Amino acid sequence: MIDIKFLRANPDVVKANIKKKFQDDKLVLVDEIIAMDEEFRAAKKRCDDLRSMRNSISKEIGILMSQGKKDEAVATKLQVANIAKELAELETNENVLTEEIKKRMMVIPNIVADSVPIGRDDSENVEVKIYGEPKVPNFEVPYHLDIMEKLNGCDLDSARKTSGNGFYYLLGDIARLHSGILSYARDFMIDKGFTYCIPPFMIRSSVVTGVMSFAEMEGMMYKIEGEDLYLIGTSEHSMIGRYQDTISDKDTLPQTMTSYSPCFGKEVGAHGIEERGVYRIHQFEKQEMVVVCEPEDSEKWFDTLYMNSIEFFKTLDIPVRALECCSGDLADLKVKSIDVEAWSPRQKKYFEVGSCSNLGDAQARRLGIRIRDKDNGNYFPHTLNNTVVAPPRMLIAFLENNINSDGSINIPTALRMYMGGKDKIEVPTKK
């Protein structure tokens, strides 16, 4: 949510930004907000004037009564009553206008960074850089589920019986690899100076609407029936929600955290999906980076978070590329976003394994997260988030890039301590 003072002073900038997002149906909202805001401010001024008038007149009543001017006092009381009636009507209108303005402000997209490429959808995202050499081995790389099943590491059939499509059982060395990657990601971020956190896995609607747009919420999150609780789609939601309605001192910034959680998503279209494997799924686990910082530092933190991901995948021998999201592909709260995509030797192309986002002060403004500044007044910090790793999807890239011709999987040095010292996952011998 942008600052209404900014919208009031720069309606053309806000409209131009809406056009950059290809959301022209929202242009009318800017004019509606401005008109309602003018009406609200006029009503507020009238209310202030009436309260001042009421206070002055009320004092006269006592004076008139003490002077025995009862009739004049009664007439003055009638004035006060009329003022009270008008005040009540104006205050009711103020409340209505406040809600209508907020409803519209919540769907006006954040102002995107000047560096963001203009495009309608993800097909117009722009490649920033490739890290590592994308290789294709001289043997055919099997489909990831076939790799897992050959290693006795995945059971989708049983998961369909217990839970439906989009769920899985991971077993043996594959399950251990899954957990090992998460543990390594945790320690990798702790070594970067981030505080390790395990947040709540359910959040209230007030937090949900504070961290994401309504459209995202409806398409992504599972609601707990009969309760004001949602299963989180990413631990960023809980982590930013932790600061809701708080005022922190400047010297507490930056807050740098790395959080683990299971995550749950509707994955639109995934119920009844035909796709075999663990790419489109309803549950996964994730290690996240979250930063709350000074507004002037958010660009620097964005670059730091994004490069953390590049370094992490490099240690696992997985080539990746950075893809900057165009204006039309950015979620409404985002100022800027870069997707990290891993190389798939089997498909001979990249696929998304993480996303780094700068949300400016949008989440802080929605959630009432403020920083105390005695000299210049309180202000909203900026929030950022980035995926460290999100298996089991990330396992696809790992397995394809570390497989040998005999089906065994090489374990990079960084992971071996989490795999009992193994340097390879061998294909089980048939008994």
Q: Does one domain contain both 162 and 239?
A: yes
Same domain, residue pair 392 and 310: yes
For range 160-176, the mean pLDDT: 94
Question: What pLDDT score does 55 carry?
Answer: 79
Q: What is the pLDDT of residue 273?
A: 40
Question: Considering the domain boundaries, does residue 363 fall inside one?
Answer: yes
The mean pLDDT of 354-374, rounded to a whole number, is 95
pLDDT of residue 61: 65
Residues 34 and 91 in one domain: yes
Last residue of a domain, one of 105, 138, 165: 105
In a domain, 110, yes or no: no
Q: What is the pLDDT of residue 267?
A: 67
Q: What is the mean pLDDT of residues 78-88?
A: 85
Q: What is the pLDDT of residues 145-159, one digit of tens each?
A: 999 999 999 999 999
Is 106 a residue whose pLDDT tops 50? yes
**Could you say which of 78, 105, 132 is where a domain stops?**
105
What average pLDDT does this structure show over 274-297?
A: 89
CATH code (residue 88): 1.10.287.40
Residue 114 lies in a domain: no
Is 299 or 266 the better-scoring residue by pLDDT? 299
51 and 169 housed in the same domain? no
Query: Is 117 within the bounds of a domain?
Result: no
pLDDT band at 1 (very low <50, low <70, confident <90, very high): confident
Q: Are residues 100 and 220 in the same domain?
A: no
Which of 74, 105, 136 is the endpoint of a domain?
105
Closest residue by Cα to residue 254 from 220, 290, 224: 290
Q: Is the residue at 111 inside a domain?
A: no
pLDDT digits (tens, 9 = 90+) for 29-73: 999 999 999 999 999 999 888 888 887 777 776 666 777 777 777
Q: What is the pLDDT of residues 386-402, one digit of tens each?
A: 999 999 989 999 999 99
In a domain, 415, yes or no: yes
Q: In this structure, are 134 and 96 located in the same domain? A: no
Contacting residues for 59 by C-beta, under 8 A, at least 6 apart? none
- Please state the rounded mean pLDDT for residues 130-155: 95
pLDDT in tens, 302-356: 999 999 999 999 999 999 999 999 999 999 999 999 999 999 999 999 999 999 9
What is the predicted pLDDT for the residue at 165? 87
Q: 258 and 127 in one domain?
A: yes
* pLDDT over threshold 70, residue 406: yes
**pLDDT digits over 109-125, tens only?**
999 999 999 999 999 99
Looking at the predicted structure, is the pLDDT value of residue 274 above 50? Answer: no
pLDDT above 90 for 272? no
* 293: in domain: yes
Indicate the number of domains in the chain: 2
Residues 373 and 263 both lie in one domain:
yes
Instruction: Specify whether 177 is located in the same domain as 92.
Output: no
355 in any annotated domain? yes
46: domain range?
4-105
Is a pLDDT exceeding 70 seen at residue 214?
Answer: no
Q: How many C-alpha atoms does 234 have within 13 Å on its Cβ side?
A: 24
Q: Which range (128-137, 160-169, 275-284, 362-371) has the least confidence?
A: 275-284
138 plus 44 within the same structural domain:
no
pLDDT at 268 over 60: no
CATH of the domain at 225: 3.30.930.10
Q: In terms of domains, do 129 and 78 share one?
A: no
Q: Same structural domain for residues 99 and 170?
A: no
